[in-house]
Structure 1
Amino acid sequence: MSDFDLGGLLTFWGRRSDDIAELVLQHVAVVVLSIAIAAVIGIAIGIAVWNRPVSRSVTIAAAGVALTIPSLALLALLTPVLGLGWTPTVFSLVFYSLLPIVRNTVVGLREVPPAIMESAKGMGMSPARILLSVQLPIAWPIILTGVRVAAQLTVGIAAIAAYVAGPGLGQFIFMGLSSLGSRNALNFALTGTLGVIVLALLLDAAFVFITRVTTSRGLRV
């Protein structure tokens, strides 16, 4: 790979600005879509198993084992079934996002103080109302932390999904790796890598803001 040239990199960015902007938007879109789907599924699973010891243990263990599957291997296995592009990318990102979301949902719901639960029951609240009005608001910061961790995972794994023609900045990374020795190989790889890092930082900052805005004032640290 050629030596680093800052001027050349800046020139590369200027000439490829439209392509870079398009890939950034694709990367953001696939991450946001996947996290939204994973959050709905993961929180629902967490709610379903948090007070069932056997189901809870099996679910968290299964999600943990699933997380050990190499992302490239999973994408390669999905390609014959789901084809190339967005579909296998979204599926794999949702797949890897479930563990932190499910685990934090379970932890958050279980950490609601028993005294508060008993008080809610004493006020005549139904289990469903206790869940929606008491447990979820108290557990929300912990749940959102799980979503935040999942989002960081998906930003990185989305780059690897370029292996199956997935959208996003990974295309530049793979382009650079596949053209080692060429004039712009390092520029492609650096642009993709730096873009992923910046997106991860911006997404993390966004979750800090979302957590603050959506958490009850009495629960804010």
Structure 2
Amino acid sequence: MTGLHLVRLDDFLARRWEDVVDLTLQHLAAVAVSLALATAIGVLIGLLVWDRPVPRAVSLTAAGIAITIPSLALLALLSPVLGLGWAPTIVALVFYSLLPIVRNTVVGLREVPSHLVESAQGMGMTPARVLLSVQLPLAWPVIVTGIRVAAQLTIGIAAIAAYVAGPGLGVYIFRGLSSLGSVNALNFALTGTLCVVLLALLVDGLFVLIARHSTPRGLRV
């Protein structure tokens, strides 16, 4: 019986592989766009608040509270304002990506040894130059880890965006769940789920390479 199910799934994939590839590329595009926006916003917030106790606490608390909002609820709230499709998907993904990026930016900057900062200042560097030339490069490995965590979050949450006609593999998952009992219901749900898992593994591997090649040589483990 198991073999028959595997054959049926193979046949299903053989007939719909172009559709699966298209949905996978849509999923990846939504994740890439939202992650780029979240990285720009999150790192900027981290740079502005890392050494200011009250703004830092407010930013991290707000981001922490935001991530507790159920994704379906957030998408439902966004859709009347932004419509269906890409817009609410991107906004929601950026929303959920901010916490790990802001937090790791703050942590990374705060962990830079103070004597290195003082040495840079003693060489006549301005505070802005010290931040960009010394602190940010040293904090980069921690920041990349936050972006990596955010990427995994967005890949999973992007599947739920099909609830508001969002792009990506969630289309197959929701189609399978909504047609339980039909011939291909399991194939739709299983294909969407497996592709999300594979995509998450590939993106995680990509971030391992990015971290390895973008980290200053002296900081590599």
TM-score tier after normalising by the smaller chain length: over 0.9
Q: Which residue of 1 aligns with 2:216?
A: 216
Residues of 2 paired with 1:17 and 1:45: CA distance?
41
Residues of 2 paired with 1:118 and 1:131: CA distance?
12
Q: Which residue of 2 aligns with 1:60?
A: 60
Number of residues paired by the alignment?
219
Query: How far did 1:215 drift?
Result: 0.5
Change (3 A) 1:32 1:4: farther
Map 1:29-178 to 2 at 5 A.
29-178=29-178
For structure 2, which runs of at least 5 residues remain unmatched after alignment? none
Q: Which residue of 2 aligns with 1:189?
A: 189
Query: How far did 1:53 drift?
Result: 0.2
- The one-letter code sitting in structure 2 at the alignment partner of 1:32 is A
- The one-letter code sitting in structure 2 at the alignment partner of 1:184 is N
Residues of 1 paired with 2:105 and 2:21: CA distance?
35
Change (3 A) 1:4 1:122: farther
* 8 A Cα contact 1:105 1:142, kept in partner: yes
Change (3 A) 1:4 1:99: farther
Residues of 1 paired with 2:79 and 2:165: CA distance?
10
Query: How far did 1:4 drift?
Result: 7.5
Residues of 2 paired with 1:70 and 1:130: CA distance?
40
Residues of 2 paired with 1:184 and 1:120: CA distance?
63
For structure 1, which runs of at least 5 residues remain unmatched after alignment? none
Residues of 2 paired with 1:110 and 1:119: CA distance?
16
Residues of 2 paired with 1:131 and 1:168: CA distance?
38
Residues of 1 paired with 2:134 and 2:188: CA distance?
50
Residues of 2 paired with 1:87 and 1:26: CA distance?
13
* 8 A Cα contact 1:4 1:186, kept in partner: no
Query: How far did 1:21 drift?
Result: 0.6
Residues of 2 paired with 1:135 and 1:108: CA distance?
8
Query: How far did 1:115 drift?
Result: 0.5
Q: CA RMSD in A?
A: 0.9
Give the secondary structure class of the aligned counterpart of 1:112.
coil
Residues of 2 paired with 1:178 and 1:158: CA distance?
18
Percentage identity across aligned positions? 69
Residues of 2 paired with 1:5 and 1:40: CA distance?
45
Deviations 1:168-220 (A, max 9, x none): 00000000001000000000000000000000000000000000111100000
Deviations 1:97-143 (A, max 9, x none): 00000000000000000010110111110001101110000000000
TM-score (norm 1): 0.98
Residues of 1 paired with 2:123 and 2:79: CA distance?
53
- The one-letter code sitting in structure 1 at the alignment partner of 2:114 is P
